[in-house]
Amino acid sequence: MTPMMMTPTEILAKLVSFPTVSSETNLPLVDWVETYLESHGVASHRVYDETGQKASIYASIGPDVAGGVALSGHTDVVPVEGQDWSTDPWELTEKDGRLYARGSCDMKGFDALALAAVPAAVAVDLKRPLQIAFSYDEEVGLLGAPGLAAAMLETFPNAKAAAVIVGEPTEMRVVSGHKGCDAIEVHVRGYEVHSSLVHEGVSAIMNAAKLINWITDQTTANMAKTPDPVAAMFHPPFTTLHVGVINGGTASNITAKDCRFNVDIRCVPTESGADWLAALRAEAARISADMQAIHPDTGIDVKLFAPGPGVKPEEGGEAERLARQLTGDNASHTVSYGTDGGHFQEAGFSVVVCGPGNIDQAHKPDEFLEMSELAKGEVFLSRLIEHLQN
Ligand SMILES: [Zn+2]
């Protein structure tokens, strides 16, 4: 097969032409990446989701030894519905030094840079491997990353990467950490009676309110704590609990049978998301007991919809050290959005977040990537390949 020689911009144009919104299949994109890698003599592997309609794709270039670097990207993008775009979101449009398309910034730009680096990586004598790690469903709860990290450890037992670079948009600044974000669904099950007999019924809404009050109190209490040195790197420097969606009830004169709400817990990396979930469950159980004293078929179900572990800043971690060496950025940065990185760190990898573009441009209509950011990314990747030859 003739090697497919393409610039990062050409690859980006190809990647954004696949409308890989998280709700849709990403397989056409994955097929294309596989063909591209194959054209450079690089074998790739996949991890499918349970539907078989989405897959992560990963590959290792260079010798089968430890100490290499994995480039972590995601293939999915957020929807464009209801957004007023002035260009076709699925076609890369260049204007005033910017590349417009859904996913140009978050984060197919980095994916394109990683793929564009492949021919150079293949051509030289790498002492340690360069690895590609592209996930699915990052935008809907980091669902692909745990399986991807596990599969890479299994497929390359001798070639565990010493550093994972997550190329989410940081304007190529070295970001050493972010908070965790666990998405939780709560279902409060009440008992319906006429509201004039409220003492015989159990209102799902009134009991949901009790739990929501507790949630509010936790954030207030966290705000008053003195942050530890790691928490102090984040804005705000404490764990937040928030209810963003609530639904319940049918009429003002019926005690509500159902109330559902969603909670997100954004946890500083020195606290445990699992501990916060356990505390939420304990409070839900306490309220449930009061509800069940009135009617047994009531209660509160708390379901962890999507765990999102944070990236903990690593004291002297290899990933951060390397990213600082390659970018020259020695300041310390954290970001407030989540990434696949937490799952890689949980799997035992050293992780840093560093990629082209500004997160302000992500998820919006007319999403764009500055061409200067793509150029910065190219320099970074060529330095990385140089580094892997030594
Ligand atoms: Zn992203």
Structure confidence at residue 235 as a pLDDT band (50, 70, 90): confident
Which pairing describes strands 180-189 and 299-306: parallel, antiparallel, or unpaired?
Answer: antiparallel
When pLDDT is cut at 50, 70 and 90, the band that residue 195 belongs to is very high
Both tokens assigned to 179: 């908070």
pLDDT band at 15 (very low <50, low <70, confident <90, very high): very high
pLDDT of 315 > 90? The answer is no
The answer on pLDDT for 321 being more than 90 is yes
pLDDT at 330: 92
Residue 49 annotated to the active site: no
What CA–CA distances, in Å, run from 176 to 57, 199, 231, 242?
Answer: 25, 53, 12, 25
Per the CB < 8 A criterion, the answer to whether 254 and 202 are in contact is no
153: pLDDT confidence band, cut at 50, 70 and 90?
Answer: very high
Residue 76 CA to ligand 1 center (angstroms) comes to: 8
Residues 6+ apart with CB under 8 A from 120: 382, 385
Of 34, 111, 137, 138, which residue is the catalytic one? 138
**Strands ordered across the beta sheet of 55-61:** 44-48, 55-61, 130-135, 69-74, 163-166, 351-353, 175-178, 333-335
CA dist 311 → 33, 272, 325, 338 (Å): 28, 12, 20, 8
Query: Measured in angstroms, how far is the CA atom of residue 379 from the centroid of ligand 1?
Result: 21
Percent of the chain exceeding pLDDT 90 equals 94
Residue 104 has what pLDDT? Answer: 98
Output the CA–CA distances (angstroms, integers) from residue 347 to 333, 340, 352, in the order listed: 23, 11, 14
Surface-to-core class of residue 346, CB atoms within 10 Å of its CB (0-12 exposed, 13-18 middle, 19+ buried): middle
The CA 114 to ligand 1 mean position distance, Å, reads: 15
Distance between Cα 28 and ligand 1 center (Å)? 19
| pLDDT confidence of residue 197 | 94
Cis check: omega of the bond before 236, within 30 degrees of 0: yes
Higher pLDDT among residues 130 and 230, named by residue: 130
60's tokens: 């290792």
What average pLDDT does the chain have?
96
Token reading at 336:
């407030």
Angle between helix 27-39 and 109-116 (nearest 10) = 20
Structure confidence at residue 307 (pLDDT):
87
pLDDT one-digit tens code per residue, 102-131: 999 999 999 999 999 999 999 999 999 999
Q: Structural domains in the chain?
A: 8-177+311-388 (3.40.630.10), 180-306 (3.30.70.360)
Residue 305 has pLDDT above 90, yes or no: no
Q: How many Cβ atoms from other residues are within 10 Å of residue 141's Cβ?
A: 18
Question: What's the pLDDT score for residue 81?
Answer: 93
CB atoms within 10 A of CB 35: 12
Mean pLDDT to the nearest integer, 283-297 = 98
The predicted structure's pLDDT at residue 270: 86
Q: What is the pLDDT of residue 332?
A: 83
138 noted as active-site residue: yes
Distance between CA atoms of residues 189 and 202, nearest Å: 8
Q: Ligand 1 center to residue 106 CA distance, Å?
A: 5
Single pTM value for the model = 0.88
- Tokens at 63, concatenated: 């010798």
Residue 189, token pair as written in the block: 């099950």
- If pLDDT is split at 50, 70 and 90, which confidence band does 171 have? very high
List pLDDT tens digits, range 34-84. Answer: 999 999 999 999 999 999 999 999 999 999 999 999 999 999 999 999 999
Between the CA of 337 and the centroid of ligand 1 the distance, in Å, is 9
